[in-house]
Every structure is written in C-alpha cells, then in structure tokens.
Chain A
C-alpha cells in the first residue's frame, strides 16, 4: 500500500505527537526538515553570538578564578555552537551558508545578544537570568522529536547548570558588596529586565506554535515565562534588587504573574538586526570570520569554507 505524500506527512506527525523520535537518516517531511534546521540554526547562532558580549569580560574579570570561569563559560557556548552546527550539517546545511545568512541579516538569533554589556554587573546578571531562562526552555528540548538534537540538549543542559551558578555567584557577591557594587548591580537589573521578559517570546498559543506541533518544544512561551518568574522573582528580590516593573505581581486568583506587556514589535525589530548592538556585534563577527578565511582555505583547499 503506497501512501500519498500528504498521507505520509500526516502519519509522521501523528507518530511524533505520540512520542516517536526521529533520527538523521530517516525519511521526514520537507516541512519538518526545514523547521528542524531553522530551529537548531537559530539556537546555534544564539550560542555563537552569545559568546561575543561575554568574551569582552575575560580580560576584565576581577579575580583569577572569575577569569577562568568566564573563559570556560564562553568556551562552552562555542562548544554548544559546534554541536548544533554539526547537527544541521548532517541535515544538509553547510556551515558557510549559515555564516553567510547570519551576516546578511537573513538569520535571526535571540534578542538578548543584541544589547551592549557595559559593566561587570551586567555580565553576571545576564548569565544568571539568561542562562536560567534558557535552561527552562532547554530542559524540555531533551525530549525533542528530533533525536540527535534531544541528545545534544542533555549535554548542553548539564553544562548550563554550571553557567547559571557562576552567574548567580557573581551577582550574590555584588549584592553583598560595597555600595558602589550594589548600585552597579541595580543599574544592570534596570537594563536587563525587559530583554529577559522578551526573551521567552510572545504568548503564542500552542496550536499556533509549529515547534510544539512538531514535537520540538513542549511548553508554550508563556508557560516558560511564568515558570521562570515563579522560580526567580523571590530570589531576585532577596538580593535587594528592585525589579523595574511596577506592574509585576502574582495574581492568586488567576494563579499567574501579571506584568507590563513587552512591546512585541520592538522585539521583532531587535531580532531583525535593529538592536542597540546588533550591527556592532555582527560586524565584529563578520570581520573576524572574513579575515581568517585564508586559514579555512588552507585547511580545506581553495574550495570550501567552514565556520
């Protein structure tokens, strides 16, 4: 009995929704393949671009222990990018095309990496908030329908656990420090609250979220944001930090957090390359990439290029 393409797609989707896990060599609908590549690629680019704000702080880290911790954390991000790039290469997408689309602005990466990072407190807070937010999302990805990605997420989550502790340690130290250190921390919190709230994305219902329909994601954007707020608001306030959203409160009746709705148009503009540091970071990465082209060419012969 031979099925039509549409029938095969439907049957595949049902299997996925029943918990089936797909390997690289298997047949998959074009739509699924494209979605998986796009999803993983956005993740890979977020790791690659995520290294850039923090790497500036390796040299500036104020103790030898912190220097090693920051270097090792940034190294992990690059390591994650490597794992994810290999996954999409195995699906037929070349690294050099990933880089081309990154620099042309065609590909998007998470909003939080489009901002400046002006102080040490920014860096510590960023790591604590963004890595913990990512971990909420990534925990579910360990059960993603695309099995190579699910396996990779197990390793990534394990490493992220160290990251958020390292960020938290920096923040705690500042919160328990001098007046100047505490002031630096509060200013950083004022800058990063909105980006972190936007990070989870708008409240797209599960039925409209392709990534959920095809088994890549488990929870909706709003579920993740609510879970993060439940875990972290108390911890943040304990440090004496004032969260710069006067509307933020837990509604006991509705059993959910109320907050100032982020401007989703603004989020879209940022991830499309109009953030406060988008151009600066992309141009920096592009220059570094292009000026080392001769290295890749030497390794591969004149033809191919590699990230």
Chain B
C-alpha cells in the first residue's frame, strides 16, 4: 500500500470510528434514565454495539499506524476528531453534583438521530463489504450483520412516534426540523476518499451516499406524511436546506467541547498509564 493510500485509509477509518464512538457515547447516556426500563436495556445495547464497532475501526487504524487503539480514541487533539457534528449533541439531562441539572430530555431527538444515522451507516457499510482491503471487508461484514437489528428497533420507534399520539408526532417533527442540517452533514467526504474509491477500498464515496439515502428514507417519510429536506426533480434530488458540515475536517460545536472534556478527563490523568 502506498503512503498516500494508507493515509487516506487511516483517515477514513478514524472518521468511521469517530462517528460510531460519538453516537455510541451520546446514546449510552440514556442508560438508567430512558423513558421505560425495558427500552433502557435495549437502547443501551445499541449504544454498546456502536462503541464496539468504533473499537474495531480504531483497531484497524492502529494496525496501519502502529499506535494503540485507545491512544487513537483518547489522545488526539480536540480538533482531530472527524465525526459528523450532529452526533456530538447531548439529548439527555446532565447530572450535576450540586443538583443544578442542565439540558432537556429529548427522546424524539435521540430516536430520530439514531434511526437516520443507522440508515446512513447501512449504506456506508454496504459500500465496504467487498473492499479490496481484506481486514476492512471482514470487519464490516460482522458489523453489518449486527446493524440490521438497529433498523428493526428504529422502525418500530419511528412508527410509534409518528402515529401514536399528537404530542409524540409534534416531538418527532420538532426533532426533524432541528436535526436536518446536521443529518445532511453525514454526507461529507473525508479527505482522500476519491483515492480509496479508485483503489477499490470503498465502493462509494460518502457524499455519493446522499441520493441512495434519500431513496431509502423516502418510504419511511411518505408512509407517515413526513417531509424530507429535499425534492425529487426528474431523476435528481435537490436538497432544500443548508447542510451543517465541517465535522469531517475536525470542526465541531459546543457539544463536542463538553463531550471531549468528559471523555478524556480520566485518561488525561495518566495518558500513558494502565487503566
């Protein structure tokens, strides 16, 4: 593998891993405080799956760079993480030892983000199943088989939010409106994806997943009279709102400031130590 291909692949793997880690962490925050105990246990498994997938991708990147997967996960500077920005936003209340708990409980936001991300992730995985880089293909086949069940769960809750009560539907629509720019931010390429595509390491660039994503998402929206932020004109889709990009090049918001701090605070006590 030439150095520029390796660099592009490493960057791509970190992007994948960061997406999975960040959504995994934010979704893990529902453990103990989800709306219902049965759902609490289920949602926590989804979050743990994502963290497990992140670990797999950090391990693949570590094999290329000779660094430790935990190093990659914890010790990069704040601006060297490449997840989509919308994933870093907290959707739960934050516990404060003084009792001044902050934030709001946003279940519709968590479910919507999770479901639309899983639809995206499925498409991205499909583009990796036949990767010319064998370790990636093998790993992603395992991940793909687990992700199927994420969609089952998401579909069940999507239907519940869209149809079971007026208030639920309002929460869903409000969440969608707030999330759209960030969701469109999934479809931003990491640097070097064109190289990876010409090497056959990825079958499709992330930006090119938008059209298939809209095609696949469409039925979930029309079925429940919900709107996508895009219109089909002939064979082409035209997006009608401004995407919130920058994540893939390390640009993030206040949610990341908070999460990065939480995530690294213990590790930073002894960065090279054994924990």
Residues of A within 8 A of B101 (CB): 280, 283-284, 287
**A63 CA / B98 CA spacing, docked (Å):** 27
Residues of A within 8 A of B275 (CB): 62-63, 66, 120, 170, 173, 177
Q: Does A292 reach chain B (CB closer than 8 Å)?
A: yes
Stretch at the interface among B185-193, B215-223, B235-243, B260-268: B260-268
A171 CB → nearest B CB, Å: 12
**B168 in complex: contacting residue of A66, A184, A285, A298, CB < 8 Å:** A298
Stretch at the interface among B29-37, B112-120, B121-129, B140-148: B29-37
For A71, A81, A116, the residue with the greatest tally of chain B CB atoms inside 10 Å of its CB is A71
**A257 CA / B240 CA spacing, docked (Å):** 74
For A173, A291, A296, the residue with the greatest tally of chain B CB atoms inside 10 Å of its CB is A291
Q: Does A190 reach chain B (CB closer than 8 Å)?
A: no
Q: Does B7 reach chain A (CB closer than 8 Å)?
A: no
Closest A residue to B105 using CB positions: A291
- Are B51 and A298 neighbours in the complex by a CB distance under 8 Å? no
Q: Does B61 reach chain A (CB closer than 8 Å)?
A: no
B169 CB → nearest A CB, Å: 9
Q: Does A42 reach chain B (CB closer than 8 Å)?
A: no
**A55 CA / B92 CA spacing, docked (Å):** 12
Residues of A within 8 A of B259 (CB): 59
- Are B93 and A288 neighbours in the complex by a CB distance under 8 Å? yes
- Are B105 and A292 neighbours in the complex by a CB distance under 8 Å? yes
Residues of B within 8 A of A78 (CB): 31-32, 37, 40-41, 44
**A68 CA / B33 CA spacing, docked (Å):** 18
For B34, B69, B99, the residue with the greatest tally of chain A CB atoms inside 10 Å of its CB is B99
- Are A177 and B48 neighbours in the complex by a CB distance under 8 Å? no
- Are A52 and B48 neighbours in the complex by a CB distance under 8 Å? no
Decide yes or no: A74 and B161 within 8 Å by CB, A85-B37, A291-B105 being known contacts: no
- Are A292 and B266 neighbours in the complex by a CB distance under 8 Å? no
Stretch at the interface among B52-60, B78-86, B196-204, B224-232: B52-60
Q: How many A-B residue pairs have CB under 8 A?
A: 161
**B105 in complex: contacting residue of A63, A287, A296, CB < 8 Å:** A287
Q: Does A61 reach chain B (CB closer than 8 Å)?
A: yes
Q: In residues 80-137 of chain A, which contact B (Cβ within 8 Å)?
A: 81-82, 85, 116, 118, 120
**A74 in complex: contacting residue of B32, B164, B269, CB < 8 Å:** B32
Chain B window 55-98, contacts with chain A (Cβ cutoff 8 Å), 1 for yes, 0 for no:
10010000000000110011000000000000000001101111
Q: Does B28 reach chain A (CB closer than 8 Å)?
A: yes
For A63, A67, A116, the residue with the greatest tally of chain B CB atoms inside 10 Å of its CB is A67
**A177 in complex: contacting residue of B74, B267, B274, CB < 8 Å:** B274
List 5 tightest A-B contacts by C-beta distance, closest first. A51-B32, A291-B105, A292-B35, A298-B168, A295-B35
Knowing that A60-B265, A78-B32, A297-B165 touch, tell me 18 more A-B residue pairs with CB under 8 angstroms: A48-B37, A52-B95, A60-B263, A62-B275, A67-B28, A68-B51, A71-B28, A71-B31, A72-B48, A116-B97, A178-B270, A283-B101, A295-B35, A295-B36, A295-B168, A299-B160, A301-B165, A307-B36
